[in-house]
Structure 1
């Protein structure tokens, strides 16, 4: 039985990426040390077997893996995914759309729930996709977790998500496809260039930006580029050593006044 022939998107992808960068065939050829005629032949699909160094050169120039250049039709991806791809987060392994996530398993081959302690936060930024680093994190058994999905525990800092107490341990589920999230989903967000995680309400916009909003109104919402986001973990539960305070009489009065004002405006 003959093996199924897989469609190759290399030619169309090179043209798509070149036009996306708004550079001419002559300019691209000059930067890669090729002739314009060769670039034209590759984009037209007239060169069936480019040299290995050609694949490497295009991959290095566009910062996209050879596997993706060959197997994924980039013209069919949305703007959000393209921005993420161009930022260096090549998540399209074997034509899929799953981010590479390092995990560890127990003796029964079940995924562990790793805990990222405060002292390991800086190391997590560098080793989040390193299986050895992840395997070295503390591991816990958390009851009643769903059987599907990958979970991790992150310590929260600051008061931006009050009433969730500062210092809580956030149990969160890994989100492989951010575009599936509903607006204002509470998440742990791992950002490039930061030594800390952020715990925010997350809204993924169609223009490739991500809105991060605090529950505490003292903190203003802000936008980040999708390419600056390394990982997103959806809130599942939290544990805290603080006992919740009883609702004050003043808070009850203020809420009643607010509701009355809203009713008057509507009337």
Structure 2
């Protein structure tokens, strides 16, 4: 009987490169020495201990059977992403969220830009690969590794001092429980003709509290089952120059300077 082929070593190398990790960095993440990790990846460790196989399987969120028996380098990025989150929970463990993405010919993720003309259709087409294929795609340097990114245009003044019309670069949030209170996010809501840019806090009663940076806008809540996606703010781009200081701001600064002088006296 022909022996079953094992893809562990090549899969380990593929998964590390997919995360854009060096051998040294991944060894640190797994709690290994560089030499131990290198031996595992290069096939120099005969019969790796089961505890190591399970640790690597859990780290990459790849079933152990697939890690050993499947040539993951032949899988599409969408298939890999779907497998990774197949066991994840939707806040309370009952529903799944599968993120559709697009990739380059060499299987690297694109960053999609959602132009203003596509905003109204995003809530309906966010999970449709054909819709995503119509969006402009590009790459941006100096983004944190290991994330999926998308760029969204903003409208209105609810998040001033971030200027109206800014383009927000955001990272997809798979586990909403990881969000810290008042995290700036793009929130995609069901039935909405637009998405919202707000500070987000997950409440214990199963709602999201949405706040604006602009204090003229009142906070409000939405049930989590009305939320399709959450994208955490990373940075924004704008072609607007900062507004010059007003007379009121100059007077305020003058008072502050006078107070400092009085305190020194």
Identify whether the pair has TM-score above 0.5, normalized to the shorter chain: yes
Q: 2:165 aligns with which of 160, 164, 167?
A: 167
Pair 218,131 (structure 1): closer, same or farther in 2 beyond 3 Å: same
Return the offset for 1:145: 1.3
Pair 1:245-2:243 in alignment: yes
Pair 173,255 (structure 1): closer, same or farther in 2 beyond 3 Å: farther
Aligned to 2:136: 138
Q: 2:109 aligns with which of 108, 111, 123?
A: 111
Aligned to 1:153: 151
Residue 243 of structure 1 aligns to a residue whose secondary structure is coil
Aligned to 1:225: 223
Return the offset for 1:132: 1.6
How far apart, CA to CA, are the structure 2 residues paired with 1:248 and 1:162? Answer: 16
Pair 1:203-2:201 in alignment: yes
5+ residue gaps, structure 2, are 1-85, 259-265
Aligned to 1:81: 92
Residue 161 of structure 1 aligns to a residue whose secondary structure is coil
Residue 126 of structure 1 aligns to a residue whose secondary structure is helix
Q: TM-score, normalised by structure 2?
A: 0.60
Return the offset for 1:239: 0.5
Return the offset for 1:170: 0.5
Q: Deviations over 1:63-92 (max 9, x none)?
A: xxxxxxxx98xxxx89x526xx4xxxx21x
Q: How many residues end up aligned between the 2 structures? A: 174
Aligned to 1:190: 188
How far apart, CA to CA, are the structure 2 residues paired with 1:183 and 1:124? Answer: 26
Q: TM-score, normalised by structure 1?
A: 0.60
